[in-house]
Structures are given as C-alpha cells and as structure tokens.
Amino acid sequence: MPFLKPNEIDFETVGGMSVIGDRIRRASKLPLGFNIVANAAKASLACARASGAQFVRVNQWANAYVANEGIVEGAAARALRYRKMLSAEDIAILADVHVKHGSHAIVGDRDIEDQARDVEFFGADILIATGTRTGHATASSEVENIRAGANNPILVGSGFSAENAAELLAVADGAIVGSSVKGNGKMHGDKVVLEKVQILMDAVLKNR
C-alpha cells in the first residue's frame, strides 16, 4: 500500500500471486480466489486461471469511482472478455456494489439499488456489500438496499464479526472475513488468531 491502478500492476505481482495460489490450492481443499487491488480484474483472473482458483473479487465492477488512487474505471467490459479469452467462464465473479474507500460521482452518488442493478446486469455472479472502509461494519440496511435492486447472492465484505453475525446473516447470504479474526483487529500487521476464528464460526453456525 498505497494501491496502484490496474494498469500499473506488473508481471511480478501476477507471477508471484499465481505461485502462492497454486501452493495454497495444493495444500487445501477450501475454495480459493483472488482480489488484487486496486481493481485489477484481469490480473486476478490470470492468477485464478493459472492456479486453479474458483473465483475473483473485483471491487469496482460496473461504474467508475473516485478513490485514493484516482479515478478508477469499472472493470466488467474488459474482464468478461478476458475471462472468455482464457476459457475461464467457470471462474465466478464476486463484485462490490457500493464500493468502500471512494465515491461514485464527483458531486453526488447514485442509489445503491441502481448500482446493484448495474453490477448484476454487467454479469457479476455474487454481489458484495461493505462499510465505508476495510474492517468497518457493513450496515444491514446496505445489504437490504442491494437486495432491493438485485437477485443474485449477497456477501458482507467488511466488518463482519461474531458480534454482528446474527444481524447480518439475517439479510446476507455469507461474508468475507479478515480484520475481525486478526490479533490486532486490523487488516495488516498481525496474524489470524484461531480462537477468534472458532468464536466467529460458532456465531455463524448458530445463526445460519
């Protein structure tokens, strides 16, 4: 960090991540996916195809937005063509709707329902709801607004924890977890703590 724009991410990243992904896949039977930021959909797809992963996450799929790294364009048009070229249509697309760390317009924003329709119309298999920043809790109303505009499954993409699992799993189909199971409760700077994972999964299983 800070993140690079997609066209600034170079070959060493794709090569290194592909090797890491391949080794994880060989060591585990769990589903594997890639999310190379910022918004590097083609790089993520290349890594997934090379390593045998099942999905990629693309933070800005349908619409352009303004973020720390500048103006970032939606990736759907190029990414779908690239996925087809790779003969990798079996790799699922997980796409954020109301993207954290940015705004979707210079002076205003569109309704979340409209953004959800865009993401689904542009071919995403699964939609992702987030808070405003990594590790910040996703509001249940955010999930409900996305649900109002789309039919595909929805995952919580930030701030999911044992404390809010019941509330969020009542409206979402699943979650992506990172910060809440780290020792320091942050995205980086510490390792995953098994005890925190067990507490979280107990809450998940209780509320499924």
| pLDDT tens digits, 112-123 | 998 899 999 999
Tens of pLDDT, residue by residue over 66-90, are 887 888 899 999 999 999 999 999 9
pLDDT band at 105; cut points 50, 70, 90: low
Percent above pLDDT 70 for the chain: 95
Domain ranges of the chain: 97-207
pLDDT band at 47; cut points 50, 70, 90: very high
* DSSP per-residue codes, 78-145: HHHHHHHHTT-TTSEEEEESS-TTEESSSS----HHHHHHHHHHTT-SEEEE--SSTTSPPPHHHHHH
Q: Regarding the domain delimited by 97-207, which CATH topology (the fold level of the hierarchy) does it fall under?
A: TIM Barrel (3.20.20)
Cα 41 to Cα 47: distance, rounded to the nearest angstrom: 10
Record the pTM: 0.83
- How does the average pLDDT of the chain come out, rounded? 92
pLDDT surpassing 80 at residue 128:
yes
pLDDT band at 10; cut points 50, 70, 90: very high
Between 139 and 63, name the one with better pLDDT: 139
Q: Which residues of 49-83 are buried (b: 16+ CB within 10 A; e: fewer)?
A: bbbebebbbbbbbbbebebebeebebbbeebbebb
